[in-house]
Structure 1
Amino acid sequence: MKKYTKVVKRFLALVTPAIATSILTTLPSQAATFASSESQFNINNFSSSPVDVVRTFTDNKTTAISTGGQVTADAKAEAEFNIYANNSASNLSFSQAQGQGDGYTGSAESFAAIIGYDFIVDKEFSFDFSGLFNLKTSIDDALTERANARGEFLYKLLDSDSGEVLDSFKISGNLSTIGNNDAFVFEPSSSITFDSKTSNQYFGGTQEYALTSFKGKYSRTFDKLTRLTLIESKSNQVSVYTIPEPSTILGSLFSCTMFGAVSIRKRKRASSAALLVNKI
């Protein structure tokens, strides 16, 4: 089981996001900013159940700093892998921030993952799934306000013995309002078929979005006995802030000590109680 612990640590080191906030006093502004990033994924009807350890991971962090305006930041992460009821798994990651007034910065990040070890199959491995991935940003004043949202959903199926990635499904996106770094990527493997899928996106201007919802099935056949590891994760980050004019930046540096900040971090690490948790 030690090799599984190492896999998890390497995996979390790559996908767990970090936020670094730069603080500057801002010009008076009565407009508003908004950013949200959300992802959900549900799995049902596994053709087989994992015979070894199941792990779930959640993490979230929010930061809100005000120099006179109003700002809020919220983050939520949930993950569940239930092999006893409906043979299912699900997780969600949600981050949102919004501000209004004459100076603020707010950010939120969330992370959720499910990992199932050793699905032992000799013919077919399959499951049904549904999910969504939504990014939204909005500002009122293009001169003094910024809103950013990004997210990534990633599903991987690995050969437990060799570590080879057999199949993957990736959705990622970034909105920078205002900016030129907008992107949206939807990359499923050939083993995934969709019963339904809708996608919409709009880049440019003071309001942007990238949205998709989907439902389908994963299926892959094997010609020999194979042990599989399933990893599904999502991370979502947002930030909103006001910016100063160039002539005010120097004075801003001297006023940072007057700022009030609130930072909340929650980490939750859970696993299915009936499985071999204590062996790792």
Structure 2
Amino acid sequence: MKKYTKFATRFLALATPAIASSIFATLPSQAATFAYSESRFNINNFSSSPSDVEVLTDTLTEAISTGGQVTADANAEANFNIDANNSASNLSFSQAQGRGDGYAGSAKSLAGIIGYDFTVDKDKEFSFDFSGFFKLETSIFETSINDQFTESANAYGLFSYELYDSASNELLDSFNIYGNLSTLGDNDTFAFEASKNITFDLSQTTTDNFFGGTQEYASANFKGKYSRTFDKLTHLTLVESKKNQVSVYTVPEPSTVLGSLLSCTMLGATLIRKRKRASSAALFVNKDLRAV
């Protein structure tokens, strides 16, 4: 049982039960819809060690078909090593693709690390090196419909690093990347922001994005260092997390009662996901790690 459960409780609000759905059929080489979301983060050379660490991972995939073909995959890994080389790393990956008429697929993944009580003496520096990348991609191929209400590919990603004063729970510094792609649709966003105590290696840090049409993407590759000196004895808690989520669907022609019911179900689920994403954007601005 961890002493500082308030940090883990906030982090775990992002988690979802691990469920793996069956795959209905093997996909052809080119999918009609495709959605991809991935994020990785590596930390090395901590100037001091935490008194305790915690790692968290979770995945969820769903695949439903009434005639089309769909797959959904997710993976999450996290490590915090303070014995051998004083380092930490994690990754979160989600992907879904489908083809045909009448399917829905989604994948969610979450990974994170928590380092409790890094001790920093008065007038001493707390620092570490980091690197990572963030990528979202959505595509719709071989479509003659071009209608966001009958065919869609969506990708969402949130990366967040936050450093707290362990005693007061005050947020001291943060680094966040947020992105959302909606194809076909116009709900596309991408943000990259960091506090002043984070320095990036500009020769190895890039961001790029393309919105519009049937193929969209957003990406960031980064490398840098965190460094801050404290004017009193301070205990720090580091919370780093990432969530990656994707969905694809097509709605069949509602020529039967079953088709009509499936259409309503898929459209309703999509509207719910969009409302949840809108809420997550607001939470991102407020630096909150509650669930999307």
Could you state the TM-score of these two structures normalised by the residue count of structure 2?
A: 0.79
Is the CA contact 2:102–2:252 (under 8 Å) kept in the aligned structure 1? Answer: no
Pair 1:100–1:190, CA change in 2 (3 A): same
Aligned ranges 1:163-182 → 2 under 5 Å: 163-182=169-188
| Structure 1 residues 255 and 136: alpha-carbon distance in aligned structure 2, compared to 1, 3 A threshold | closer
Deviation at 1:78, TM superposition (A): 0.2
Alignment of 1:72-221 (within 5 A): 72-122=71-121, 123-140=124-141, 141=143, 142-143=146-147, 144-195=150-201, 196-221=204-229
Partner SS state of residue 11, structure 1: helix
Q: Structure 1: how far apart are the matches of 2:110 and 2:31?
A: 30
Q: Of residues 224, 232, 241 in structure 1, which corresponds to 2:232?
A: 224
User: For the Cα contact (< 8 Å) 1:121–1:225, is it kept in 2?
Assistant: yes
Give identity over the alignment, percent: 69
Is the Cα contact below 8 Å between 1:192 and 1:217 reproduced in 2?
yes
Whether contact under 8 Å (1:17, 1:235) holds in the other structure is no
Unpaired runs of at least 5, structure 1: 20-29, 257-280
> Match for residue 252 of structure 1?
259
Q: What is the TM-score with the length of structure 1 in the denominator?
A: 0.82
Counterpart residue number, 2:270: none
Q: Secondary structure at the match of 2:11?
A: helix
Rounded to whole Å, the distance in 2 between the matches of 1:221 and 1:163 is: 18
3-state secondary structure, aligned to 2:79:
strand
What is the count of residue pairs matched by the alignment? 243
> RMSD of the TM alignment (CA)?
2.1
Q: Structure 2: state its 5+ residue gaps.
A: 19-29, 264-292
Question: Deviations 1:113-155 (Å, cap 9, x if unpaired)?
Answer: 1001000002111000000000000002223420000010000
Q: Which residue of 1 aligns with 2:61?
A: 62
- Per the TM alignment, residue 6 of structure 1 is displaced from its structure 2 partner at its CA by 3.1
Structure 1 residue 44 and structure 2 residue 44: aligned? Answer: yes
The Cα of 1:249 is off from its aligned counterpart by 8.4
In the TM superposition, 1:265-276 aligns within 5 A as none
In 2 relative to 1, CA 254–207 (structure 1 residues): closer, same or farther, beyond 3 Å? Answer: closer
2:271 is aligned to: none
